[in-house]
């Protein structure tokens, strides 16, 4: 019997959400204290707990069949792997930042400057594409302090809220790439392992769809139903049930999280009342 080997980050910004994703897919991972390998109780997968930087390489070499890692790491490491899905967590960006009081007019600023980063490959590509001749100082961590201690003129690092830059007297001036957690896979997965992967992806997409949608129930006069159906297309079309009160009915449908408030306003204008919105746990299309 085959087992799909999955690499996730042992501890860090990706670990908790990666574990939670498996839990939501009904896959139980027990917390092997200190162990680097965990076998799931009820699904044919084995979880390898690794440093995020090593995950692309291990997936390329098929030490792991698939892995969860930041898009920024996948792009920096340039390993030969397939990118399967974006997972919607650990959103961030790779940006250039300079001391806050320096004038900035454009990327020419970096000409003949020294820039500290843990992403020399991506930064090198960015400078090459703009014909900018800058010196890249590779650091493995604490990049933000480099300008303050005179090690570099600017930095290129991951930003999410931006507060680390502010704390260190820096200002974000260019975004090199946007990133989030992604699922990568070895290019040669076949046979039984592929079937397990397809099952896993099916579950993950159901969880993702559920997160991105809400179930909506509302009451409406029959005369308004046509307009309301246009506002709420639903998965196929809304379910319409008659109410005990004559001339009224109840509509059930699904609405996208990011369109939610706009749709609610339109529904109220069209005559909808008693609107209930309920989270969806799993959504199979």
Residues that bind Zn ion (CB under 5 A): 52-53
According to DSSP, residue 217 is labeled E
In angstroms, the CA 116 to CA 127 distance is 13
Token code pair at residue 7: 């690499």
Q: What residue is closest to ligand PRT based on CB?
A: 70
Q: In what order do the strands lie in the sheet with 213-221?
A: 239-242, 248-256, 213-221, 273-279
Residue 238 phi/psi, 5-degree rounding, is -65, 150
Minimum distance from residue 141 beta carbon to ligand PRT (Å): 7
Query: 222 with 249: CB under 8 angstroms?
Result: yes
Name the site residues for ligand PRT (rule: CB under 6 A).
9, 12-14, 51-53, 70, 72-73, 90, 92, 157-164, 179
Cβ at position 167, least distance to Zn ion in Å: 21
Our CB check for ligand PRT shows the closer of 65 and 157 to be 157
Closest of 59, 143, 33, 51 to residue 97, by C-alpha: 143
CB of 80 to ligand PRT, least distance (A): 19
- For residue 230, the minimal CB distance to ligand PRT (Å) is 40
Smallest separation (angstroms) from Zn ion to the CB of 51: 5
Q: Which is nearer to ligand PRT, 22 or 119 (CB)?
A: 119
- CA contacts within 13 A on the Cβ side of 28: 3
Q: Which residue is nearest to Zn ion (CB)?
A: 53
Please, which residue, 73 or 213, has the CB nearer to ligand PRT? 73
Pick from 282, 107, 125: nearest CA to 207: 282
157 versus 174: smaller Cβ distance to ligand PRT: 157
**Residue with Cβ nearer ligand PRT (178 or 268):** 178
Closest distance to Zn ion from the beta carbon of 52 (Å): 4
Q: Closest CB to ligand PRT among 94 and 225?
A: 94
The smaller minimum CB distance to Zn ion, of residues 63 and 264, is found at 63
213 binds, among Zn ion, ligand PRT, none (CB under 5 to 8 A by kind): none
Q: What tokens were used for 116?
A: 């500290």
Rounded (5°) CA angle 269-270-275:
80
28 touches, from ligand PRT, Zn ion, none (C-beta below 5 to 8 Å by class): none
Q: List, in order, residues 6 or more apart from 260 with CB less than 8 Å away.
A: 214, 277
Selection from Zn ion, ligand PRT, none that 14 binds (CB < 5 to 8 A by kind) is ligand PRT
Residue 159 contacts which entry, ligand PRT, Zn ion, none (Cβ below 5-8 A, type-dependent): ligand PRT
Which of Zn ion, ligand PRT, none has residue 179 at its interface (CB below 5 to 8 Å by kind)?
Answer: ligand PRT
Helical (H) or strand (E) element with 213: strand 213-221
- For the chain, give the number of residues: 285
Least CB distance to ligand PRT at residue 174 (A)? 15
Distance CA 18, CA 14 (A): 6
Instruction: Quote the CA–CA distance of 232 and 245 in Å, as a whole number.
Output: 23
């Amino acid at each position: 019997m085959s087992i799909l080997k999955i690499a996730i980050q042992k501890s860090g910004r990706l670990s908790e959400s990666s574990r939670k994703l498996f839990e939501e897919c009904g896959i139980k991972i027990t917390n092997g204290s200190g162990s680097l390998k965990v076998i799931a109780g009820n699904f044919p997968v084995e979880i390898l707990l690794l440093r995020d930087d090593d995950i692309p390489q291990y997936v390329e070499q098929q030490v792991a069949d698939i892995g969860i890692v930041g898009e920024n790491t996948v792009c920096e490491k340039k390993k030969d792997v397939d990118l399967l899905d974006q997972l919607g967590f650990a959103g961030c960006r790779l940006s250039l930042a300079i001391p806050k009081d320096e004038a900035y007019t454009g990327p020419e600023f970096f000409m003949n400057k020294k820039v500290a980063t843990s992403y020399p490959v991506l930064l090198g590509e960015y400078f090459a594409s703009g014909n900018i001749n800058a010196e890249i100082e590779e650091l493995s961590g604490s990049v933000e302090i480099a300008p303050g201690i005179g090690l570099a003129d600017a930095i290129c690092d991951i930003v999410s809220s931006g507060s680390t830059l502010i704390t260190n007297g820096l200002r974000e001036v260019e975004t090199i790439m946007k990133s989030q957690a992604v699922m990568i896979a070895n290019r040669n997965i076949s046979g039984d392992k592929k079937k397990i992967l397809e099952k896993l992806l099916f579950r993950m997409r159901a969880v993702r769809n559920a997160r991105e949608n809400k179930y909506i129930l509302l009451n409406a006069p029959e005369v308004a139903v046509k307009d309301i159906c246009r506002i709420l297309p639903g998965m196929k079309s809304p379910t319409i049930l008659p109410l005990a009160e004559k001339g009224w009915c109840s509509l059930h449908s699904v609405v996208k999280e990011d369109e939610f408030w706009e749709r609610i306003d339109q529904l109220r204008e069209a005559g909808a009342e008693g609107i209930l919105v309920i989270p969806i746990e799993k959504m199979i299309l």
